[in-house]
Amino acid sequence: MTLKTNQYNLTTKRYQISKMKKIMDDNNFITFLISLKDIYGDHGAVGLIILKKIDNNKKLFIDTFLMSCRATGRYFESNMFNYLKIFAIKNNYKKIVGEFIKSEKNSVVKNLLRKHGFKKVKNKYICNSNKIKTFNQKIYE
C-alpha cells in the first residue's frame, strides 16, 4: 500500500516489502492493516497505520497514515483515527504526534490531522490523550 497510495497519505513515505517486514518485527513500531467490509462487499485492505513509540513509550508518532481511494467518501478515515485514539488511551500513551508532508498529490489530506483533534505545534500535530474525544461508533476487529 505504501508504494501505491498517493492522495490519502499524510507523509507519502514508501516502504518496500523488506522494510515493512523489519518494521513489523520491531517492538518500537505498531502497525495496523485495516480492511473494510460493508453492504457493497469486501474491499480488502484499505488502510494502513504505522506508529512509532517515542519518548520512552509515552507518545505515539504516526509514521504512516494512508487510505485507499476505495474507502474515500465513507468517513473511513474517522474510523481509523477513532481506533487509533482508543488504542492510545487503552495503552496509556500520553500523546499522539503526527505530521503532514506535502507532495504533488496529497493535498486532499492537508487538514486531516486538524480535523481529527490534533493541534499544530511548530511543524508537527499533537493530540493529548487526556483530551482525546472519540465518537460513539462500534469498531470491528
pTM of the entire predicted model: 0.84
Query: Which tops the pLDDT comparison, 126 or 71?
Result: 126
pLDDT band (50, 70, 90) for residue 5: low
Please name each of the domains of the chain with its CATH number. Answer: 17-131 (3.40.630.30)
Give the containing element (helix H, strand E) for 84: helix 76-90
Across 6-10, 34-38, 91-95, 96-100, least confident range: 6-10
**Beta-sheet strand order (sheet of 95-98):** 29-38, 41-54, 59-67, 95-98, 124-128, 119-121
Determine the average pLDDT of the residues in 26-32: 95
In this predicted model, what pLDDT tens digit does every residue of 35-89 receive, in sequence order?
A: 888 888 888 888 899 999 999 889 999 999 998 887 777 778 888 888 899 899 8
Query: Does residue 124 carry a pLDDT above 50?
Result: yes
pLDDT of amino acid 135: 53
Cα distances (angstroms) measured from residue 15 to each of 1, 29, 40, 47, 77:
9, 14, 30, 15, 21
- Of the pLDDT bands very low, low, confident and very high (cuts 50, 70, 90), residue 23 is very high
Give the residues across from 66 on adjacent strands: 9, 48
Q: What percent of the chain has pLDDT over 70?
A: 87
